[in-house]
Amino acid sequence: MTIGVVILSDSLRMWAHARGYEAAVAGFEVVTEVRKTIEALKNAGSFDERFFDKCVKGFKYDSEIAEPKIVIMLSVPRPAHYITFSVAGKQLAAIVPPTYAYYREEARRVRDEILSAGILKSGQQLVPLRAPLKSVAARVGLVRYGRNNITYTRSRGSYHQIVGLASDAPPGAFEIDPVLESPGLMDECLRCRACAASCPTGAIPGDRFLLRAHRCLTFLNEFPGEWPDWVDPSWHNAFVGCMKCQACCPMNAGNPEPEDTGVRFDEPETTQLLSDEPLPADVWRGLDLKIESAGLGGDRQDVVRRNLRALIKAQGF
């Protein structure tokens, strides 16, 4: 079965190409197809309840536009970054994996650029898509899944951010092509298991495709709470998130080295962050402002300090 899709109008294609992005446009009904797939997975008991409630239940599969007609899906190349901390006279480059730094800013910037490029007609709206972005992007053929459940493009491997937008621009303004019935796996994954072998937590299963997301380090370190007993302290490898199943992937071999956010914490500041004592509000505010300037907005004090302590211990400082 195929359902209607829209190929890029020439202006969007040229605009995206000039910036090194990839783009696809589809009728909004692709979002309903994704919703059905995720409901079927839920009904089959495929999700850990806690993970589903925190990360999937909230999707509205809609947008601010009452009657959206199309989705515009973009893949924007993103590097990893790092923030520097100072411990015992040594420097620690704490990795911030691709997409975290300046995440919201990137999505806003891309939308604003499309609006000002004159791709849509005057009066046509363009707003964030409130739906599972990988699932939609894979259905419209923009990306393919890796065994690690992260999506890939030919040019940037998995180091890219998916930006999803909805518009009331009529599909007729674009050329039409089929939407994939089911999302595709990269051919390379058929002969490779490097990511599954590198995942410290066993989140990438051998008996099914869907990630056991409640076991993913990222699920643990993006949210508050104690580390579960089964987490080995040596597993932590990033300031937030985890690089293990992307760093080992041959499809990421040509990607650039992590970029410096330019944010540095000197030894007294790092010591304050690492102490067990609650920080006075003004001290935390100063430290948090620095973290925000690395494009990591709104993280809680307990999350930041817990993650940093764990990373420093894992790196043997």
Nearer Cβ to ligand B12 (108/285): 108
Closest CA to 61 of 94, 39, 79, 92: 39
H or E stretch at 51: helix 49-51
235: DSSP letter: G
Quickly list DSSP for 131-162. Answer: S-HHHHHHHTTS-EE-TTS-EEBTTTBT-EEE
**Binding of ligand B12 at residue 218 (CB under 6 A)?**
yes
* Cα–Cα nearest to 260, from 88, 102, 96, 99: 96
Distance CA 201, CA 63 (A): 35
β-partners of residue 3 are 179
Question: According to CB under 6 A, which one of 119, 204, 296, 310 is a site residue for ligand SF4?
Answer: 204
What letter does residue 100 receive in the DSSP assignment?
T
Task: Please count the other Cβ atoms lying within 10 Å of the Cβ belonging to residue 290.
Answer: 15
Name which of ligand B12, ligand SF4, none residue 308 binds, using a CB cut-off of 5 to 8 Å depending on partner kind.
none
Separation between Cα atoms, residue 281 and residue 6, nearest integer Å: 51
Q: Is 135 in the site for ligand B12 (CB under 6 A)?
A: yes
Give the footprint of ligand B12 on residues 147-186 (CB under 6 A).
148-151, 158, 160-162, 183-185
Residue 231 binds ligand B12 (CB under 6 A): no
80: contact with ligand SF4 by CB under 6 A: no
Applying CB under 6 A, among 27, 77, 171, 241 the residue interacting with ligand B12 is 241
Q: Which span (82-90, 102-110, 185-193, 273-281) binds ligand SF4, by CB under 6 A?
A: 185-193
Choose, by CB under 6 A, the member of 69, 236, 244, 305 that binds ligand SF4: 244
Q: Does residue 203 touch ligand SF4 according to CB under 6 A?
A: yes
| Residue 273, token pair as written in the block | 């962050």
311 is a contact residue toward ligand SF4 (CB under 6 A): no
Amino acid letter, residue 279:
L
| Sole binder of ligand SF4 in the list 5, 95, 110, 195 (CB under 6 A) | 195
Q: Say how far apart CA 197 and CA 96 lie, in whole Å.
A: 22
H or E element: which one contains 177? strand 175-179
Q: Is 142 in the site for ligand SF4 (CB under 6 A)?
A: no
Residue ranges in contact with ligand B12 by CB under 6 A: 34, 37-38, 55-56, 97, 99, 132-135, 145, 148-151, 158, 160-162, 183-185, 209-211, 213, 216, 218-219, 222, 241-242, 245
Residue ranges in contact with ligand SF4 by CB under 6 A: 146-148, 186, 188-189, 192-195, 199, 201, 203-204, 216-218, 242, 244-245, 248-251
